[in-house]
Chain A
Amino acid sequence: MSNDLVIKALHANIEEKEILRGVNLTIRGGTIHAIMGPNGSGKSTLASVIAGHPGYEVASGEIWYKGQNILELDPDERSKLGLFLAFQYPVAVPGVSVANFLRAALNAHRSEEGKDPKETAIPMAQFRKQLREGMQALEMDEGFARRYLNEGFSGGEKKRLEILQMTMLRPTMAVMDETDSGLDIDALRIVAEGVNRLAHPDMGVLVITHYQRLLNYIKPHFVSVMMDGRIVRDAGPELALELEEKGYDWLREELTA
């Protein structure tokens, strides 16, 4: 069973329009892998398809993780397999508190077939301790846990909450979609430290970004570039710097030449 996330010839559509046009990509377990690419190239679509968003139609292809083609699994099953998606636009759920949501998520991960959920549920004291520690590490205010999920949160608060969830769920493969957008430098540092604590060697990370900025804080082992729904280049971290300096056009020209 491999901890690599292996994407093979993936084609996916939204409303009949082909967005992913044959993606081939391997994220090796325990490594940090960045995907860069211009806006609209399909990066968020790829992240959504990995997590199992029902709004995307997978026309063909496979995504393998831990010995399973995860395209056959529901989003919650993928999460329990160890996959995590830090959303570019986290969703507000009014009336559901951060604490209740986190507890439900943790308990879902701890549940076992044939066992009473009460038996496997996290003891309240342990949950509170874990939550407190997680929030402290991300410099989050205590009152945060009582607020409704993402409701009225600032951009930075939403991103921190994504990382808090990652901290508590301890995934083995995390996809982070534009986690740096909307963050000031302080928040960016805190979020990046949070990711670095969890990453290598326990967690593979797929960092999606179209700026190099985040990669100063989360150092990738590999960089791939996505354009028009395909991975057009795989390289080392030096590619990120080159893209930052020269933009994407030279690469496009090189490819069409």
Chain B
Amino acid sequence: MTLLTLKELTADIIGERAKVAGEPHWLVERRREAWAHFAQAGPPEWRRTDLSGIDPTALAPSSDTLVTIELDASLERLGVVAKPLRAALTSHEALIQRYLDTAVAPLEHKFSALRAALWQDGAFIFVPKDVAAEMPIRVRYHLPPIGHTTLPRTLVIAEAHSSLTLIEEFSSPDQSVPSLAAPISEIFAGPGSSVRFISAQRWGNGVYHIAGQKAVLEQDANLEWTSIGLGAKVQHIEAETTLKGNGSQVNWYGATFAGSDQLLLTGPWLRHVGHRAESFMQFKTVVNGNGYSVFDGMIKIEHESAATSTRLEEHALHLSPQARNDSIPGLKIDTNSVLKGGHASTSGDVDEEQLFYMQARGISKTEAKRMIVMGFFSPALDSIPVESLREELEATIESKI
């Protein structure tokens, strides 16, 4: 199959290819609809995300998604499924039809439409009712050959009272020409379920990462979400947790490090719908060199919610005078019934007193800085259940200090 660029593709070609690949009718139609939207939509109006360095329409979506999925055999025996999404279309079509595209809206903007129209493959994770999947499941996305676009997607369905830990990684070597990665991650946490989700973006230089991630929590569901952004040239992540069910809870930790020539934007939204739902969000950002990072978070407390508790903390650490970070936290409340709300925000250089205290014990300035940065990121790093991954991420962070 020849690879066509976005300029050369048409709805008919896309539909035809999906049919040939044996995709069900509903999916073929969804792709066509999304493509029609993509074709007519103007470029997204993102004020801070600079896409001038890449022309997505000149790139060809790769024919396949490079993904590695690791599932411990003990989990397989419990009925846990973790397999390529395309293969799951055969084994779990009804579930996929029911959930796919219902969390991350496909027609929101040009890139969401592009992702919905052209995703090639991804990971399908399913944990049956009452099953506790203790060993972490790992999904690793890699980049296709240079100059191609990858559009992978993760679909997680945790049934009632189940639990799981999922690590989703995006990694690649540095790229000599701009590449585009446009992934979707959707997580459905059933009633009373516990989900730990660690998403780590550590692409090489030159990658543009434009992602949509969303979790929907049913009654009493609990989500521990860690968002790590270290790599890529440009990152634009629209992420959301919808606390749909009564009594649902999320603890969301972020660690972003933008070094020289990086623009890393994260837009985590919390949407409170259920009653007595509780959310805690703590995002930490380090910027160095001429790096630029943006925290574009939002807490929306919807009309139908009641007795919401929410707290947002965002902290930024500057390692160089040229580095920048913008923090634009938003709060929208459409109800009179909020139980607790809190917000804390700091931004500044590495604390001179901390440096001096550590140096006074013989620790060099460089090492003290390293320890302070690692300590700053510790809530996110401590949540990583795989020691080797944690060490890899720490090494990446260290190399950027």
Known: A91-B357, A94-B376. 18 other contacts (CB 8 A): A51-B356, A54-B352, A55-B352, A55-B356, A76-B361, A76-B362, A79-B361, A84-B360, A91-B351, A91-B356, A96-B371, A96-B374, A105-B358, A105-B362, A108-B362, A108-B364, A148-B375, A165-B361
Across the interface, do A105 and B354 meet the contact criterion of CB distance under 8 Å? no
B363 contacts partner chain A, Cβ-Cβ < 8 Å: yes
Which of B354, B362, B377 meets A79, CB within 8 Å? B362
8 Å CB interface, A70-100 against B = 74-76, 78-80, 84-85, 87, 90-96, 100
Residues of B within 8 A of A76 (CB): 359-365
A101 contacts partner chain B, Cβ-Cβ < 8 Å: yes
Q: Whose C-beta in chain A lies nearest to the C-beta of B356?
A: A53
A218 contacts partner chain B, Cβ-Cβ < 8 Å: no
B353 contacts partner chain A, Cβ-Cβ < 8 Å: yes
CB contact under 8 A between A79 and B365, given known A91-B353, A93-B354, A100-B371: no
A229 contacts partner chain B, Cβ-Cβ < 8 Å: no
Of B352, B358, B374, most A-chain CB atoms within 10 Å: B358
Which of A94, A108, A148 meets B361, CB within 8 Å? A108
Residues of B within 8 A of A93 (CB): 354, 357-358, 371-372, 375
Which of B357, B367, B376 meets A95, CB within 8 Å? B376
CB contact under 8 A between A75 and B376, given known A108-B362, A108-B367: no
8 Å CB interface, B93-138 against A = none
Q: Whose C-beta in chain B lies nearest to the C-beta of A53?
A: B356
A52 contacts partner chain B, Cβ-Cβ < 8 Å: yes
Residues of A within 8 A of B379 (CB): 95
Of A76, A87, A148, A165, most B-chain CB atoms within 10 Å: A76
A109 contacts partner chain B, Cβ-Cβ < 8 Å: yes
A147 CA / B375 CA spacing, docked (Å): 12
Q: Whose C-beta in chain B lies nearest to the C-beta of A48?
A: B356
Across the interface, do A91 and B364 meet the contact criterion of CB distance under 8 Å? no
A101 CA / B353 CA spacing, docked (Å): 15
Residues of A within 8 A of B363 (CB): 76, 104-105, 108
Which of A52, A96, A100, A109 meets B360, CB within 8 Å? A52
**A128–chain B nearest beta-carbon distance, Å:** 19
A253 CA / B95 CA spacing, docked (Å): 90
A225 contacts partner chain B, Cβ-Cβ < 8 Å: no
Across the interface, do A95 and B378 meet the contact criterion of CB distance under 8 Å? yes
Across the interface, do B371 and A51 meet the contact criterion of CB distance under 8 Å? no
**B68–chain A nearest beta-carbon distance, Å:** 31
CB contact under 8 A between A96 and B372, given known A53-B356, A87-B357: yes
Across the interface, do A75 and B352 meet the contact criterion of CB distance under 8 Å? no
Residues of A within 8 A of B376 (CB): 94-95
12 A–B contacts, CB within 8 A, in A order: A51-B356, A54-B352, A55-B352, A74-B359, A75-B359, A76-B362, A76-B365, A91-B353, A92-B354, A94-B378, A95-B372, A95-B376
Q: Whose C-beta in chain A lies nearest to the C-beta of B378?
A: A95
A163 contacts partner chain B, Cβ-Cβ < 8 Å: no
Across the interface, do A95 and B377 meet the contact criterion of CB distance under 8 Å? yes
A169 contacts partner chain B, Cβ-Cβ < 8 Å: yes
A79 CA / B367 CA spacing, docked (Å): 15
A109 CA / B375 CA spacing, docked (Å): 21
8 Å CB interface, A104-142 against B = 104-105, 108-109
A84 CA / B351 CA spacing, docked (Å): 21
Across the interface, do B360 and A54 meet the contact criterion of CB distance under 8 Å? no
**B127–chain A nearest beta-carbon distance, Å:** 32
CB contact under 8 A between A79 and B360, given known A55-B352, A91-B353, A93-B354: yes
A92 CA / B352 CA spacing, docked (Å): 12
Across the interface, do B356 and A75 meet the contact criterion of CB distance under 8 Å? yes
Residues of A within 8 A of B367 (CB): 104, 108
Residues of B within 8 A of A90 (CB): 357
A78 CA / B372 CA spacing, docked (Å): 21
Residues of B within 8 A of A75 (CB): 356, 359-360
**A112–chain B nearest beta-carbon distance, Å:** 13
**B329–chain A nearest beta-carbon distance, Å:** 21
Which of B354, B371, B375 meets A91, CB within 8 Å? B354
A73 CA / B325 CA spacing, docked (Å): 34
Of A90, A91, A148, A165, most B-chain CB atoms within 10 Å: A91
Q: Whose C-beta in chain A lies nearest to the C-beta of B379?
A: A95
**A51–chain B nearest beta-carbon distance, Å:** 5
**A148–chain B nearest beta-carbon distance, Å:** 7
A85 CA / B353 CA spacing, docked (Å): 14
**A138–chain B nearest beta-carbon distance, Å:** 17
Residues of A within 8 A of B372 (CB): 93, 95-96
Residues of A within 8 A of B371 (CB): 93, 96, 100-101, 104
8 Å CB interface, B334-392 against A = 351-354, 356-365, 367, 371-372, 374-379
Residues of B within 8 A of A84 (CB): 360
**A162–chain B nearest beta-carbon distance, Å:** 10
**A87–chain B nearest beta-carbon distance, Å:** 7
**A110–chain B nearest beta-carbon distance, Å:** 9
Which of A80, A101, A169 meets B358, CB within 8 Å? A101
Of A54, A93, A169, most B-chain CB atoms within 10 Å: A93
**B398–chain A nearest beta-carbon distance, Å:** 14
Residues of A within 8 A of B353 (CB): 91
Residues of A within 8 A of B358 (CB): 93, 101, 104-105
**B359–chain A nearest beta-carbon distance, Å:** 4
A134 CA / B106 CA spacing, docked (Å): 60
Of A92, A104, A169, most B-chain CB atoms within 10 Å: A104
Residues of A within 8 A of B362 (CB): 76, 79-80, 105, 108-109, 169
A108 CA / B371 CA spacing, docked (Å): 13
6 closest A-B pairs (Cβ-Cβ)? A95-B375, A95-B378, A79-B362, A75-B359, A108-B362, A105-B361
Q: Whose C-beta in chain A lies nearest to the C-beta of B374?
A: A95
A53 CA / B377 CA spacing, docked (Å): 26
